[in-house]
């Protein structure tokens, strides 16, 4: 978790009103948008400016799998994670985004979760992104999750230099530290990496009043074949979360320090 001195200062996050209006218009009219252009527009107004380290590790192009921590603190919108990375990486990223917001144990979830599903699926449609059922996994959404995974795989197969962006944890970790990815996440990443996608680890956090992005060295995922599903998940998780953790302050690395 970030130190208390860090938590007293946060950047000013505000989307340009013109951008918000244009996105809403695109959703209503079902018109496609270019996420990287919108990200550059949004990050340009970030105050103080985005702090970036390790840009030399960003490859000249795809294929590539960008993995990042699901940064969380109360009041921080994860949208700024995707915006920041897309504004820095010099080509389009195909983001895998949540398909709904959840409100565990709260009566309002009955109304807000379906509403968030409609909004998030509309945003995904406008930008051409894939949505996954929200975490933690709901047994009722097994089929939907399977279909979403297949959709991502189809995208990778038909896109010559596909660049995929995802946060393996898939959910807010309330401690602010790295958390364990859910079951199946490791196998999904293993499948993508085995198809020839190197991994680019990214750490995102706030410090000294600014939002920080740290890119680590590109690497190939080398995992022993033939492991049981749970063992494969754990083996992949150790590698990918360890690589992400090395891009974060020590206090945020959790079990991946």
Question: What number of CA atoms fall less than 13 Å from residue 9's CA on the CB side?
Answer: 11
In the numeric block, the tokens 């959404």 are attached to: 141
Give a yes or no: residue 3 inside a domain. Answer: no
Is the model's pLDDT at 99 over the cut of 70? Answer: no
- What pLDDT does residue 7 have? 45
Is the model's pLDDT at 134 over the cut of 80? Answer: no
Give a yes or no: residue 6 inside a domain. Answer: no
Give a yes or no: residue 45 inside a domain. Answer: yes
Is the model's pLDDT at 2 over the cut of 50? Answer: no
CA distance 163 to 166: 10
- What pLDDT does residue 210 have? 94
H helices, E strands: number in the chain = 8, 7
CB crowding 137-155: b at 16 or more within 10 Å, else e: beeebeeebeebbeebeeb
CA distance 94 to 45: 23
Q: What is the pLDDT of residues 50-78, one digit of tens each?
A: 999 999 999 999 899 999 999 989 889 88
Contact, 255 vs 178, CB < 8 A?
yes
Instruction: Determine the structural domain holding residue 43 and report its residue range.
Output: 18-256
Mean pLDDT of the 246-255 span? 94
Mean pLDDT of the 4-19 span? 77
Q: Is the dihedral of CA 233, 132, 59, 70 positive or negative?
A: negative
Instruction: Please give the mean pLDDT across all residues of the chain.
Output: 88
Give a yes or no: residue 9 inside a domain. Answer: no
Q: Which two tokens stand for residue 228?
A: 């049981």
In the numeric block, the tokens 């860090």 are attached to: 6
- What pLDDT does residue 175 have? 85
- What pLDDT does residue 103 have? 62
- What pLDDT does residue 102 have? 64
Contact, 238 vs 257, CB < 8 A?
no
CA distance 249 to 5: 14
> Number of folded domains in the chain?
1
In the numeric block, the tokens 């509309």 are attached to: 122
Is the model's pLDDT at 107 over the cut of 90? Answer: no
Give a yes or no: residue 13 inside a domain. Answer: no
In the numeric block, the tokens 């898939």 are attached to: 170
Give a yes or no: residue 29 inside a domain. Answer: yes
- What pLDDT does residue 6 have? 46
Mean pLDDT of the 9-20 span? 91
What does the DSSP assignment read for 97-157?
Answer: EES----TT-TTHHHHHHHHHHHHHHHHHHHT-EEEPPSSP-GGGHHHHHHHHHHHHHHHH
Give a yes or no: residue 157 inside a domain. Answer: yes
Give a yes or no: residue 8 inside a domain. Answer: no
Q: Three-state secondary structure along 153-177?
A: HHHHHHCCCCEEEECCCCCCCCCCC
Contacts of 162 (CB under 8 A, 6+ apart): 62, 63, 94, 155, 156, 197
CA distances from 120 to 30, 127, 176 (A): 13, 11, 24
Q: What CATH code is carried by the domain that includes residue 93?
A: 3.40.1130
Banded pLDDT at 3 (limits 50, 70, 90): very low
């Amino acid at each position: 978790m970030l130190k208390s001195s860090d938590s007293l200062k946060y950047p000013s996050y505000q989307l340009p009103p013109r951008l918000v209006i244009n996105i809403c218009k695109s959703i209503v009219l079902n018109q496609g948008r270019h996420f990287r252009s919108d990200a550059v527009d949004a990050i340009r107004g970030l105050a103080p400016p985005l702090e970036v380290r390790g840009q030399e590790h960003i490859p000249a192009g795809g294929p590539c799998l960008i993995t990042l921590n699901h940064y969380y603190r109360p009041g921080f919108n994860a949208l700024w994670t995707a915006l920041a990375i897309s504004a820095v990486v010099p080509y389009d990223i195909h983001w895998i985004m949540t398909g709904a917001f959840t409100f565990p144990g709260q009566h309002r979830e009955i109304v807000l979760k379906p509403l968030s599903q409609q909004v998030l699926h509309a945003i995904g449609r406008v930008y051409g992104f894939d949505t996954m059922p929200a975490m933690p996994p709901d047994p009722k959404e097994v089929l939907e999750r399977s279909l979403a995974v297949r959709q991502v795989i189809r995208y990778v197969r038909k896109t010559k230099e596909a660049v995929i962006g995802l946060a393996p944890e898939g959910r807010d970790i309330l401690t602010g530290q790295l958390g364990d990815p859910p079951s199946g996440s490791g196998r999904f990443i293993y499948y993508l990496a085995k198809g020839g996608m190197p991994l680019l680890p990214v750490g995102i956090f706030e410090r000294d009043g600014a939002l920080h992005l740290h890119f680590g060295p590109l690497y190939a995922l080398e995992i022993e074949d033939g492991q049981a599903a749970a063992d494969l998940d754990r083996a992949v998780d150790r590698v990918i979360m360890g690589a992400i953790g090395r891009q974060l302050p020590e206090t945020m690395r959790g079990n991946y320090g």
